[in-house]
Amino acid sequence: MAELKSFPLDYYRNYLDVDDCSPIYNHCNGKQFEAATKLDLCEFLNLRTPLVPVRVLDGEKQRMCYLISQLLKHRVPAISEMKKPWLKGILAACKISESYYKSHYNDVDERSGSEANKEFYRTVKSILGR
């Protein structure tokens, strides 16, 4: 009989609900992320290994920092034991250093910057229902 692989309990934890992942997929797939399936993106955002690796597109790290900061603030459960590991894990998965994140997570807003950043700000605001 085949032995079942055992995973730590954290492996099954959802930081983000499928309902949170779906609008991110609809608005960001192929724009901030290399084209992926909805399931792969949800696995990626929940720090599990997707079937096909999800990759942040070149030139999108600044916008990803903003998206990550907003997900951390508005969607990842408020328990600090979940926020810190999620932030560390998602930054590693996106290949973004903590120092880069701290320098750029607030760069995207609706008042300054490029039109693309202003549009992304509005998109994230819409995704999060704010």
* Residue 29, beta-bridge partner list: 33
DSSP 3-state of 5: coil
| Euclidean distance between CA atoms 39 and 50, whole angstroms | 8
- Amino acid 130: pLDDT: 65
Mean pLDDT for 79-84 is: 80
Tokens 């997929």 label which residue? 25
Are 105 and 69 a contacting pair, CB within 8 Å? yes
Mean pLDDT for 10-14 is: 62
Mean pLDDT for 7-25 is: 76
| Euclidean distance between CA atoms 77 and 102, whole angstroms | 20
Q: Where are the alpha helices (DSSP H) in the chain?
A: 18-28, 38-45, 61-74, 80-93, 98-104, 115-127
Residue 3 has pLDDT above 60, yes or no: no
* Residue predicted with more confidence, 35 or 82: 35
Residue 67 has pLDDT above 90, yes or no: yes
**Helix axes of 61-74 and 115-127: crossing angle, nearest 10 degrees:** 20
Q: Amino acid identity, residue 7?
A: F
- Amino acid 26: pLDDT: 95
* Residue predicted with more confidence, 113 or 73: 73
Q: Which pLDDT band, with edges at 50, 70 and 90, does 129 fall under?
A: confident
pTM (whole model) above 0.75: yes
- Of 58, 80, 83, 59, which is closest to residue 71 (Cα–Cα)? 83
DSSP string spanning 11-24? GG--SS-HHHHHHH
- Amino acid 7: pLDDT: 43
